[in-house]
Amino acid sequence: MPFESKIKTIEWLGESVKMIDQTKIPYSFETIELTKCEEVAEAIKVMIVRGAPAIGIAGAHGVTLAAIELSKKEKDKKTFLLKLKERAEFLKSTRPTAVNLMWAVDKQIEAAESYGGDDIDGVVEVLKKNGVMLENQDVEINKKIGDFGAAIIPEGATILTHCNAGALATVGYGTALGVVRSAYAKDNTIRVFADETRPRQQGARLTTFELIEDGIPTTLITDGMCGYFMKNHMIDVVVVGADRIAANGDTANKIGTYTVALVAKAHNIPFYIAAPLSTIDISIKNGDEIPIEERGREEVTHINGKTICHPDVNIINPAFDVTPNEYISGIITEVGILRPDYKNSIADAMKKM
Ligand code: MRU
């Protein structure tokens, strides 16, 4: 059975949420079960669960866990909803760039508010159901992205990807790696080059893990090598995921993506984003308005707990960068491939959400 269908990255179990601990891969494969909203918030922060769609679903289940806890103390529905919204804001503050987190948490709050009854238990039930719906919908959406994306992969192509936009970054199947999976199902001569993706090495640790487990030929390269391989005609197409796409198509994704896009443009190599519509933030006009998460110094100064530099060196650690829309050949979504002019194609696609 393929890796991506063996286990969900994140799964609601009725009264708790189970997730793969991604900090342990590839050294071990472990899952954890969480019963408190605060535990989910911490799991998102320390990246036990990561990837824009996966943290969205984690956030959604985090709201349900908060509701279960609050329902044991609060009898007044108005106070209950007020406190639930506070917890929702707390969940949303854990990682600022990936808009799927805000989207999914807000979906839960909308569901809670639209419940007509006076009983708090009824709200809890609505949240459980809605969370599971969002969880299942994520996999369906990724399969649609995969099918649309497979059509733009040339026969026998070598696809470069950055970071991990795979089954591990979603509930299952993946966005960029969903495209890879669907393309490989049609043509098993395609190949993947995976950027290592410093500082946290999601490409090396997670992308190679899930693709090799699924038997998809994958070559690991370090981040600085992409220019060499593009210049030497060894990459045919780039497909990456996204954390937030502005209304004009400017796209935030893992740090280093912008560099890949620039090199791809210089060598006339198509550069695609694969993402669900829930990654698009139409309230943001362009990429300059996307908040970029800054993470701690140890991610840069250390590898596997060992320092790699002078202890007094300065560190700046932005987790994401923004690729301007002119470098993007297309945005592969569940409703089709959006093309420039993105302002129009995005506005049209959002009507189908
Ligand atoms: O910091 P991470 O590991 O959460 O960053 C993940 C990425 O940048 C992914 O490319 C993006 O979230 C899309 S995942 C389908």
Q: Per-residue pLDDT tens for 53-109?
A: 999 999 999 999 999 999 999 999 999 999 999 999 999 999 999 999 999 999 999
Q: Determine if ligand 1 sits within 6 Å of the CB of residue 202.
A: yes
H/E element holding 303?
strand 302-303
The pLDDT tens digits for 108-154 are 999 999 999 999 999 999 999 999 999 999 999 999 999 999 999 99
- DSSP summary character for residue 204: I
> Is the alpha carbon torsion for 131, 63, 99, 203 positive or negative?
negative
Q: Which of the following CATH numbers is that of domain 10-140: 1.20.120.420, 3.40.50.280, 1.25.40.20, 3.30.420.80?
A: 1.20.120.420
Residue of 50, 196, 300 to mutate, ligand 1, most atoms within 8 A of C-beta: 50
The pLDDT tens digits for 249-266 are 999 999 999 999 999 999
| Residue 60 to residues 37, 106, 111, 127, 145, Cα–Cα distance (Å) | 10, 8, 11, 8, 22
pTM of the prediction? 0.98
**Closest by CA position to 127, among listed 215, 57, 231:** 57
Q: Does residue 2 have a pLDDT over 90?
A: no
Residue of 19, 25, 164, 175 to mutate, ligand 1, most atoms within 8 A of C-beta: 164
**What average pLDDT does the structure give for the chain?**
97
Tell me the Cα Rg of the chain.
20
CA 150 – CA 155 distance, rounded (Å): 10
**Closest by CA position to 274, among listed 121, 157, 145:** 145
Query: What are the structure tokens assigned to 116, written together?
Result: 């007509």
Query: Do the beta carbons of residue 124 and residue 64 sit within 8 Å?
Result: yes
- Residue 262: how many CB atoms within 10 A of its CB? 16
The pLDDT tens digits for 212-241 are 999 999 999 999 999 999 999 999 999 999
pLDDT at 1: 80
Q: Tell me which of 68 and 4 has the higher pLDDT.
A: 68
Annotation says 321 is catalytic: no
Domain boundaries, the chain: 10-140, 143-350
CA 339 – CA 336 distance, rounded (Å): 10
Across 123-157, b (16+ Cβ under 10 Å) vs e yields bbebbbebbbebbeebbebbebbbbbbbebbeeeb
Query: Do the beta carbons of residue 58 and residue 17 sit within 8 Å?
Result: yes
81 CA distance to ligand 1 middle (Å): 31
Query: Do the beta carbons of residue 41 and residue 63 sit within 8 Å?
Result: no
pLDDT at 274: 99
**If one looks up domain 143-350 in CATH, what number appears?**
3.40.50.10470
Catalytic residue among 243, 250, 281, 321: 243
pLDDT at 185: 98
Q: Report which protein residue has its CA nearest ligand 1's atom 6.
A: 51
Q: Determine if ligand 1 sits within 6 Å of the CB of residue 171.
A: no
The pLDDT tens digits for 313-329 are 999 999 999 999 999 99
pLDDT at 37: 98
H/E element holding 195?
strand 191-195
The pLDDT tens digits for 188-200 are 999 999 999 999 9
